[in-house]
């Protein structure tokens, strides 16, 4: 009787919380399926700025293209640079966010500048906040992120994600076969009863010859079971994105995720400097060419620095490759170069074969511009505790920053299919409730 009451309570919770969440989950899942191919689709919608015709001409260097940008827009800072140029795509430079309001730097009316890699001409700028066709995927992103409602939308989706996470466990429990009543057990005492696994196995299957109700029932159960692990990852990581007040304490208790205070204190500790000399001879050879500073505010830096804008990518990528090989790793992808003006340093972010994703779990190397010495190397896989790695895996799996090449494409497809599966789970759940409600109403009418 106790197990039956528990099952009825779980069924009621699962049914009505599912109804309350259905619309939000459908929006989040459809937009999520699109966002699995965010960059590819964004290039389609933003084709006028991103695509160019390949030419039989040499491509300009990143440094030369950056010079064109800061000359055209001297009032804004562009401290970051991409690391590669493609013959059929423009090169995009991002405007620095105005984090220090004390400098009274004017807010740029755009966030991105697109440059032709053959002649350095500015193709155009993009304000991602504007309602325009070329911003379609960014509006899809913010619809997915906060329902286009800002902090209120984040709170709503955070609560929905938390309920969804709990529902993952409730739904899993409800797929188990019902408990057999004691009187039926006595009647079947002389008969060999099927094992729990055999009685549970039908919940994993989709019967081919079914009516519409049974088909929806099977889809709801089977999809929920086969995809349970990934559904939980998406649900719980969504709590992490939107409801840190709940996510962080739970992760601290379960996997030892560092608190915000602990994390800040850890980052304040001076990191060990690696290779103070850093092969100055090699640096001098690479840095022989003159280069300007990364933006107009750093013009007081000596152009004869060993590491300058012209050779920063080559120098940093070489040092990153050496440092990675010394640890038995390989550099898989260069993510971006940044000029740290206050410290007179260059920083390269990159991904090794042991790093988790391309965001918080990536690696970085920082060098002194004047001397070329390596100030610090931060390997993503080494610098994180178990709790931080668990957190990074959750966010990386959610955002699709997995693998490269064909492996990445396959995961993108898988992530898009997960989005479609959540839509199916929501629709079939509503359908099952509606049919059940009709049956309950008919039973009430007959009882009168």
Residue 372, burial from CB neighbour count under 10 angstroms (0-12, 13-18, 19+): buried
**Which structure tokens are listed for 251?**
């992760």
- The residue that leads in pLDDT, 404 or 151, is 151
- 439: Cα separation from own chain's centroid: 43
Q: What is the pLDDT of residue 1?
A: 43
Q: What is the pLDDT of residue 268?
A: 44
65 in Cβ contact with 117 (< 8 Å): yes
pLDDT tens-digit series, residues 347-403:
999 999 999 988 888 999 999 999 999 999 999 888 678 899 999 999 999 999 988
User: Which residues does 1 contact at the CB level (< 8 Å), separation at least 6?
Assistant: none
What average pLDDT does the chain have? 86
**Residue 51, helix vs strand vs coil:** strand
- Given a cut of 70, whether residue 412 has pLDDT beyond it is yes
- Given a cut of 50, whether residue 293 has pLDDT beyond it is no
300 in Cβ contact with 318 (< 8 Å): no
93: phi then psi, degrees, rounded to nearest 5: -120, 135
**Which structure tokens are listed for 225?**
């079971």
Q: What is the pLDDT of residue 382?
A: 83
Radius of gyration (C-alpha) of the chain in whole angstroms = 28
Residue ranges of the domains in the chain? 1-52+134-178+200-257+416-448, 53-133, 271-387
**Which structure tokens are listed for 423?**
């839509």
- Given a cut of 80, whether residue 408 has pLDDT beyond it is yes
In whole angstroms, give the CA distance from residue 82 to residue 397: 24
In whole angstroms, give the CA distance from residue 80 to residue 88: 22
**DSSP state letters, 164-223:** HHHHHHHHHHHTSPPPPPHHHHHHTTTSPPPPHHHHHGGGG---SS--HHHHHHHHHHHH
Q: Where residue 97 falls among pLDDT bands split at 50, 70, 90?
A: confident
Q: What is the pLDDT of residue 104?
A: 62
Q: What is the pLDDT of residue 223?
A: 95
Q: To the nearest whole percent, how much of the chain has pLDDT over 70?
A: 83
Residue 198, burial from CB neighbour count under 10 angstroms (0-12, 13-18, 19+): exposed
Q: Where residue 261 falls among pLDDT bands split at 50, 70, 90?
A: low
Whether the full predicted model's pTM is greater than 0.75, yes or no, is: yes
């Amino acid at each position: 009787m106790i197990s039956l009451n528990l099952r009825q309570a779980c069924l009621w919770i699962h049914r009505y919380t599912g109804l309350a969440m259905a619309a939000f989950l459908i929006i989040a899942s459809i937009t999520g399926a699109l966002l699995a191919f965010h960059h590819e689709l964004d290039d389609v919608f933003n084709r006028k700025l991103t695509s160019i015709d390949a030419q039989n001409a040499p491509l300009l260097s990143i440094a030369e293209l950056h010079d064109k940008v800061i000359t055209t827009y001297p009032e804004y800072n562009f401290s970051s640079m991409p690391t590669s140029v493609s013959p059929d795509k423009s090169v995009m430079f991002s405007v620095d966010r105005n984090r220090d309001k004390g400098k009274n730097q004017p807010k740029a009316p755009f966030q991105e500048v697109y440059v032709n890699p053959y002649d350095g001409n500015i193709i155009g700028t993009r304000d991602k906040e504007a309602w325009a066709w070329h911003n379609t995927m960014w509006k899809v992103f913010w619809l997915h992120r906060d329902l286009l409602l800002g902090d209120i939308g984040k709170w709503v989706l955070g609560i929905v994600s938390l309920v969804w996470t709990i529902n993952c466990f409730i739904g899993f429990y409800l797929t188990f076969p019902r408990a057999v009543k004691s009187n039926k057990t006595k009647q079947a005492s002389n008969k060999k009863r099927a094992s729990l696994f055999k009685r549970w196995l039908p919940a994993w299957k989709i019967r081919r010859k079914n009516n519409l109700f049974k088909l929806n029932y099977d889809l709801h159960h089977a999809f929920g079971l086969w995809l349970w692990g990934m559904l939980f990852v998406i649900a719980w990581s969504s709590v992490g994105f939107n409801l840190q007040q709940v996510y962080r304490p739970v992760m601290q208790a379960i996997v030892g995720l560092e608190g915000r205070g602990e994390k800040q204190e850890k980052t304040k500790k001076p990191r060990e400097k690696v290779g103070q000399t850093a092969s100055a001879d090699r640096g001098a050879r690479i840095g022989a060419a003159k280069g300007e500073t990364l933006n107009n505010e750093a013009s007081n830096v000596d152009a004869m620095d060993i590491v300058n804008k012209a050779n920063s990518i080559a120098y940093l990528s070489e040092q990153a490759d050496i440092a990675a090989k010394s640890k038995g790793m390989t550099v898989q992808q260069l993510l971006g170069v940044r000029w740290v003006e206050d410290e007179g340093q260059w920083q390269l972010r990159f991904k090794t074969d042991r790093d988790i994703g391309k965001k918080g779990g990536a690696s970085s190397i920082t060098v002194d511009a004047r001397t070329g010495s390596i100030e610090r190397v931060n390997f993503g896989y080494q610098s994180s505790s178990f709790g931080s790695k668990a957190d990074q895996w959750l966010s990386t799996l959610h955002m699709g920053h997995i693998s490269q090449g064909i492996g990445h494409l396959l995961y993108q497809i898988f992530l898009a299919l997960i989005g479609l599966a959540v839509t199916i789970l929501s629709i079939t759940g509503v359908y099952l409730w509606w049919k059940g409600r009709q049956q309950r109403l008919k039973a009430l009418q007959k009882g009168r």
